[in-house]
């Protein structure tokens, strides 16, 4: 019985890279879908300062915060779709 060390090493490296990559993409999806707007308004709202109380404190005066949050959320869902596609491809390789 002979072990093909090159093939075993290749499988190990590919598995390690795929696992780290998939976890990284999933983490990006979690972070992106958790975005609630601009970082400056979120930091001032969470500090509890008196200036951050009121309905206009969390609104973005330039009007670009909502678009950035929507783009981040969409990117997060794309990351989740990529993870689902990778899992489906892995199942296809195992079953097929």
Residue 12 included in any domain: no
pLDDT band, very low/low/confident/very high, at 66 (cuts 50, 70, 90): confident
Residue 55 included in any domain: no
Range of the domain at 85: 20-37+63-96
Average pLDDT, the chain: 81
**How many domains does the chain contain in total?**
1
3-state SS, residue 91? helix
Length of the chain: 96
Residue 53 included in any domain: no
The predicted pLDDT at position 3 comes to 93
The predicted pLDDT at position 67 comes to 84
Angle at 50 between CA 49 and CA 51, to 5 degrees: 90
Q: What percent of the chain has pLDDT over 70?
A: 70
Residue 27 included in any domain: yes
């Amino acid at each position: 019985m002979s072990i093909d060390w090159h093939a075993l090493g290749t499988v190990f490296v590919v598995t390690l890279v795929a696992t780290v990559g998939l976890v990284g993409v999933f983490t990006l999806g979690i972070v992106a879908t958790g975005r609630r707007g601009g970082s400056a308004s979120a930091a001032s709202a969470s500090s509890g300062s008196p200036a951050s109380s009121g309905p206009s404190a969390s609104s973005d005066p330039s009007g670009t915060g909502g678009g950035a949050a929507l783009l981040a959320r969409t990117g997060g869902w794309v990351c989740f779709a990529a993870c689902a596609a990778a899992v489906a491809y892995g199942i296809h390789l195992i079953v097929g």
